[in-house]
Amino acid sequence: VEGDLIIESGAVVNGNVTLLDGDLTLEGSINGDVTLLDGTLIVGESASLTGDCALLGASIEEAEGQFINCQSFSFPGLDRFLE
């Protein structure tokens, strides 16, 4: 998906989520992996993730008491490939 994506509280995604150049707001559940390129993973109070998480040129904001284990990668010059 390109752009922003919101997974609302109570929603369940069974599969992997890949997001390019946007923010992923996670209030519900993802039963799969998350890959985020150049954006922000916003983790809400009711969020859950059962798979792996990779952030490439991206950041994470977690609600108090939440912890999502993500591997974060930084690539110099990544912006020029995403334009």
C-alpha to C-alpha distance for 51 and 48, rounded to whole angstroms: 9
**Over its length of 83 residues, how does the chain's per-residue pLDDT go in tens digits?**
888 999 999 999 999 999 998 999 999 999 999 999 889 999 999 999 999 999 988 888 989 888 777 776 665 555 555 55
Q: Is 47 exposed, middle or buried (0-12, 13-18, 19+ CB in 10 A)?
A: buried
- How confident is the model at residue 30, as a pLDDT? 95
- How confident is the model at residue 79, as a pLDDT? 56
